[in-house]
Amino acid sequence: MITDFQKRFSTQEINKLKTAKIYSLYDLITFLPSRVIRVLPLRQFSPKIIDRPKYLDQAVLQKITHKTSKIKFLVLDWYSQICNRFYQTYLFSITKFTLKTLQVNKEYQLLLSYQNGFWRLDKYALFTGDTNDQLFKLGKNKIKDYLEVYYPKVNFLQLNFFKSIHNKLSPQDYILNLEGLVPPNDIFPTIIDLQNIHKPTSYNSYKQTLDHWISFQVYLKVAVNHFLSSQISQKQGLASKIDIGFLKNIVTQLPFELSYSQKIAIWELLQNLSQKTK
C-alpha cells in the first residue's frame, strides 16, 4: 500500500530522509530547524535586541581598506541609502573574485551581523532594482522583516534539501490535532500549527508556536513518567507519585532555558497529575 508520505516524495528523496531517521510525515514536521535567524531592515537596528538578528541594507560602497592581523580582512566604508548615514563593515572571506566584484561608488544590497560593537558583512550583491520579489534575496530591493530557518546537518543532507522537501507540503500537513490527547488547559492549544516554525511569517508567531511545542513535549515527559510511576506502585504497593528527580533531569537536558510561562505550565500539569493520583 502506497502511503501519503510516499505519494509526496520521490524514492530518492525518501531514501535521503531515512538517513535522518525520518520515515513519516509526522517525523518530518517534528524535525525542527536547529536555529532561526531574524532578518531586519537596518533602520530597525537596536543594540537592545537580544536575539542577534541579521540586518539588511542598501548602500553605496565608498572605500576599501586592506587590513592584516592574524588574518586578512577588508574594512568597507558604506553610505546607507536606507538610513542616510556612513558606517564600516568587516569582510573576512576574501578571494580574488571578491576583490574583482567589489566596486567603489556602486550600490549594493548587504546582509549584515552586529556583535560586540562591530558590523560584519555576511553576504552582498549589486543592487538590481527588481521589485517583484516579496522576500529578501540578494540583488532584490524588497527589504522587510522575515525569518530564515536552518536545519541541523544530518549526514550529507544540506539546508536546501530540507527547504525543497518542505516546499512540497501543504499548510494542512503541519497541523497537529491534540484533542483527546491532552487535558483541557490554558498553556498550549489543542491544535499546534508547526508551519509557523518551518515557514515562519513573523517572529512572534514563531516564538509562540515553539513555546507551545516545548510545553507539549514537557507535558508528554511528565505524563509518561506518571504512568510508569503508577505501574510500579501497583506492583509494589507504593503510593504513586511524580518522580521529581526524573523531571529535573529532563529539564537540565533541554538545549534551552525554560521561560517563566513554561515553568508555570509544568507546575500546573504536575498539580493536575498529582490530584488524579489521590
The mean pLDDT of the chain is 80
Average of pLDDT values for 242-270?
63
- Confidence at residue 174, expressed as pLDDT on a 0 to 100 scale: 94
pTM for the model: 0.66
Q: What percent of the chain is modeled with pLDDT above 90? A: 25
- Confidence at residue 48, expressed as pLDDT on a 0 to 100 scale: 79
As a CATH number, domain 37-148 is 2.40.50.140
Amino acid present at 58: Q
Higher pLDDT, 53 or 4: 53
Residue 34, pLDDT > 90, answer no
- Confidence at residue 196, expressed as pLDDT on a 0 to 100 scale: 94
At 65, the pLDDT band (50, 70, 90 cuts) reads very high
Please report, for the chain, the start and end positions of each structural domain, with discontinuous segments joined by +.
1-34+154-169, 37-148, 172-276
Residue 237, pLDDT > 90, answer no
- Confidence at residue 239, expressed as pLDDT on a 0 to 100 scale: 45
Average of pLDDT values for 16-44?
89
pLDDT tens for 17-30 read 998 889 888 899 99
- Confidence at residue 273, expressed as pLDDT on a 0 to 100 scale: 55
At 257, the pLDDT band (50, 70, 90 cuts) reads low
- Confidence at residue 238, expressed as pLDDT on a 0 to 100 scale: 45
pLDDT tens for 153-212 read 887 888 789 989 999 999 999 998 888 777 777 777 889 999 999 998 888 899 899 988
Q: Which of 1-5, 51-55, 104-108, 149-153 has the highest mean pLDDT?
A: 104-108
